[in-house]
Chains A and B, each alone.
Chain A
Amino acid sequence: MQIELEHRQAAHCENGVASNLFRFHGLELDEPLIFGIGSGLFFGHVPFLKVNGTPGTTFRIFPGLVFSRSAKRLGIEMEKQRFRKKGNAMKALDRSLEKGQPVGVLTSVFFLPYLPPAYRFHFNAHNILVYGKENGEYLVSDPVMEAPTRISYEDLQKARFAKGTMAPHGRMYYPIKVPQEVNLEKPVAEGIQQTAKDMLRIPVHYFGVKGIRFLSRQMQKWPEKVGERKASLYLGNVIRMQEEIGTGGAGFRFLYAAFLKKAAGILDMDELDDMAERTTRIGEKWREFTTHAGRLCKKRSSSEVTYDFLAEILLECAEQEEALYKELRKLPLDR
């Protein structure tokens, strides 16, 4: 059995699944819109949350929030389930598919055989869309892939019940009520307001603009604290979080600029066009950071690029971002 579903590629899995799923139910929204309405842009550096032994850094909001926030703002009702028993999780998936309902499923990248080996680290919050079953295999629309693909029952079950940090617990979700006409003004405005707030107002130094400054301070201490080899690994992790598949480049900053550009049209506010321009320049600043960081990783200790030098670029990013969000907060966005 196969449900007619249009697969469209996206930079990030969660935006992509949301966009493809909402489109199936008659609501056409592209990736930047979902990302912006769901307030996906963020920054966090949490040293004690180790990912493969390196301090955790993120350029986006916590997994699942883009989905839940955008659904809420758009007036979409979602059914979400998690499971204790593997068998029940697969049966529930089958039942939904039989009803003609494509299902968003949370998986671990490590257990998805169709992904290239180089990407198969333990990352437990990858969203895919399952839209059919044929000869015991599931038909999968994975937004990071160019085309739909397939996965066996056993592999999917393993991927849905990966353990460790952010274990998916067989989570699955699908919309039960989708409005066919949505006035985007309010959702877009609320999305912007929340992003500005998230980046400026969280009173913990791990998150938002404070988090960027914190990473900058931490980074200067790495070579002394953990040695050149580990410092290089830590830095490499920041590069990957910022530029590897999923971010759309420059730690989601380009994707957000694309959203602000659209928002300018939807809300009819020229100021947002300028903000999009500035977000692009901020993205370019982040790119400058990774280009230099890559060189440092390659040479380990080099005289041209030092951790202090990189920390300086991060401070510039922080400063520019802070000014941007402060101005976004001043815009008359109450609808």
Chain B
Amino acid sequence: MSEKDDKERREGIGLNPLRYEPDGKGSFQATPKAEDEAVNIAMEQAWEEVERKVDKARERVRNGERSPLAFFMELNMMDPKTIARYMGNSKRKVKRQLRPKGFQRIDASTMNAYADLFGIEVEELRDPDLSRTASPFKKDP
């Protein structure tokens, strides 16, 4: 990943946060924010944590302990409670569907709703590309 790519992923294009800095003469200038070391560390650390959870889910899906739903849940930084709210389901039902057996029993319309929530096709939900990562910083595993 080149330095430029990295900067773009971090800051995007056209996102140049403003910051109010004292100019030393008792006045303030709203200027584009300078690179902030502490924020960068905090941000990368937060993404590492997301990625740690995705890694864990990926392993468990590969081992057949969890359904693909668990992988997409972590990839989208959600939890069973949030998913239940989106789906209008109970948390218990979502938790059941995180297990392979429960996943098999999901009906077609619910599958569509899940796919829509995660912005993927139903086929991908059934047969996920487990190499996907959530973090914009991390290279392919």
Q: How many A residues touch B, CB cutoff 8 Å?
A: 55
Whether the Cβ atoms of B39 and A240 lie closer than 8 Å is yes
Question: Across the two chains, which residue of chain B brings its CB closest to A238?
Answer: B42
Question: Across the two chains, which residue of chain B brings its CB closest to A161?
Answer: B86
Chain A contacts for B21, CB-based, 8 A: 249, 254
Interface stretch (choices B7-15, B62-70, B120-128): B7-15
Interface string of A58-83 (1 = CB under 8 A from B): 00000000000000000000000000
Given contacts A243-B39, A254-B20, is CB(A261)–CB(B27) below 8 Å?
yes
Q: How far is the CA of A284 from the CA of B9 in the complex (A)?
A: 29
Q: How far is the CA of A239 from the CA of B46 in the complex (A)?
A: 11
Interface string of A227-262 (1 = CB under 8 A from B): 000001101110110011110110000110110010
Whether the Cβ atoms of B46 and A52 lie closer than 8 Å is yes
Whether the Cβ atoms of B11 and A116 lie closer than 8 Å is yes
Q: Is the interface of B mostly helix, strand, loop or mixed?
A: mixed
Q: Which of A270-324 contact B (CB under 8 A)?
A: 273, 276-277, 280, 283-284, 290-291, 293-295, 297-298
Is B30 engaged at the interface, CB distance under 8 Å to the other chain?
yes
Is B141 engaged at the interface, CB distance under 8 Å to the other chain?
no
Is A221 engaged at the interface, CB distance under 8 Å to the other chain?
no
Q: How many B residues touch A, CB cutoff 8 Å?
A: 40
Given contacts A257-B28, A258-B20, A261-B28, is CB(A116)–CB(B9) below 8 Å?
yes
Interface stretch (choices A86-94, A97-105, A118-126, A205-213): A118-126
Whether the Cβ atoms of B43 and A118 lie closer than 8 Å is yes
Q: How far is the CA of A239 from the CA of B88 in the complex (A)?
A: 35
Residue among A9, A237, A293 making CB contact with B18, cutoff 8 Å: A9
Q: Which of B30-68 contact A (CB under 8 A)?
A: 30, 33, 36-39, 41-43, 45-47, 49
Chain A contacts for B81, CB-based, 8 A: 164
Q: How far is the CA of A246 from the CA of B19 in the complex (A)?
A: 8
Interface stretch (choices A41-49, A144-152, A173-181, A194-202): A144-152
Whether the Cβ atoms of B22 and A254 lie closer than 8 Å is yes
Question: Across the two chains, which residue of chain B brings its CB closest to A245?
Answer: B17
Residue among A11, A114, A115, A239 making CB contact with B20, cutoff 8 Å: A11
Given contacts A167-B85, A257-B22, is CB(A245)–CB(B15) below 8 Å?
yes
Question: Across the two chains, which residue of chain B brings its CB closest to A256?
Answer: B20
Q: Which of A123-147 contact B (CB under 8 A)?
A: 144-147
Question: Across the two chains, which residue of chain A brings its CB closest to B81?
Answer: A164
Chain B contacts for A243, CB-based, 8 A: 36, 38-39
Is A32 engaged at the interface, CB distance under 8 Å to the other chain?
yes
Is A225 engaged at the interface, CB distance under 8 Å to the other chain?
no
Residue among B47, B76, B86 making CB contact with A118, cutoff 8 Å: B47
Question: Across the two chains, which residue of chain B brings its CB closest to A111?
Answer: B119
Is B90 engaged at the interface, CB distance under 8 Å to the other chain?
no
Question: Across the two chains, which residue of chain A brings its CB closest to B136?
Answer: A117
Q: How far is the CA of A10 from the CA of B17 in the complex (A)?
A: 8
**What are 14 A-B contacts with C-beta separation under 8 Å?**
A114-B12, A115-B15, A118-B10, A118-B12, A119-B15, A121-B46, A122-B78, A147-B14, A236-B43, A243-B38, A244-B43, A257-B22, A294-B38, A295-B38
| Residues in B lying within 8 Å of A, measured CB to CB | 8-22, 26-28, 30, 33, 36-39, 41-43, 45-47, 49, 76-78, 81-82, 85-86, 136-137
Q: Which 8 A-B pairs have the closest CB atoms?
A: A116-B12, A294-B38, A236-B42, A163-B85, A117-B136, A245-B17, A258-B28, A254-B20
